[in-house]
Amino acid sequence: MGMILTAADGDFNAIRALIGGVDEIFLSDAMLDSPAYVGLAELFIISKVNSQTANGVRTVSQILALQPDDLDFKALKSATIYYTAYLTTPGMTNLVNTSVTVGEQSIDLGGLGQSWVTMGTDLLQLAAYALSFLANWQSVEGSMVITSGPTKAGLAPDTIGGFAPYKRYG
């Protein structure tokens, strides 16, 4: 179970809503609450928050001890929700069938797959924006960039909006 995000708080429903209302059948709570999604998102966001404590930003533990209506609490939670949603977008093109086959002809339903790729970039920028609401947060050019990490076949990291979204090549 995640430290910042939980199914009980409705966080996983928020993630599914952000990526177009994907049904829980395709993206279950158990799948979201895994090291690949919530685990990685929380590690990333925690590392970014911890890198700002010298500037007077509260630690994640201090923020989580606050009331849910506190701005820092909301900013941390929102950034983690947006970043988790971002992590799901590359896989959604494979998880949900976006075409219909009639006889021998296959029809694409409006390029939904590409919409998820584009949505990922937007979600990444929203995660960075949410962190900017933390008290004493100082945006530093390049401070939110992932400099190394795994890549997925056909996808590679690129820098946009202070984070490194996955960019489809080909």
pLDDT value at residue 98? 64
Q: What is the pLDDT of residues 147-166, one digit of tens each?
A: 333 333 333 344 443 444 44
Burial class (CB in 10 A: 0-12, 13-18, 19+), 32: buried
Amino acid 110: pLDDT: 58
Residue 128 CB contacts under 8 Å (≥ 6 apart), including other chains: 79, 144, 161, 162, 163
pLDDT one-digit tens code per residue, 55-108: 999 999 999 999 999 999 999 999 999 999 999 988 776 666 667 778 888 776
Residue 109, classed as helix, strand or coil, is coil
State the virtual CA torsion across 28, 116, 146, 31 in degrees, nearest 10: 10
Average pLDDT, the chain: 80
Residue 151 neighbours by CB under 8 Å, 6+ apart: 157, 166
Yes or no: say if 60 and 50 are a contact pair by the CB < 8 Å rule.
yes
Whether 139 and 162 have beta carbons less than 8 Å apart is answered as yes
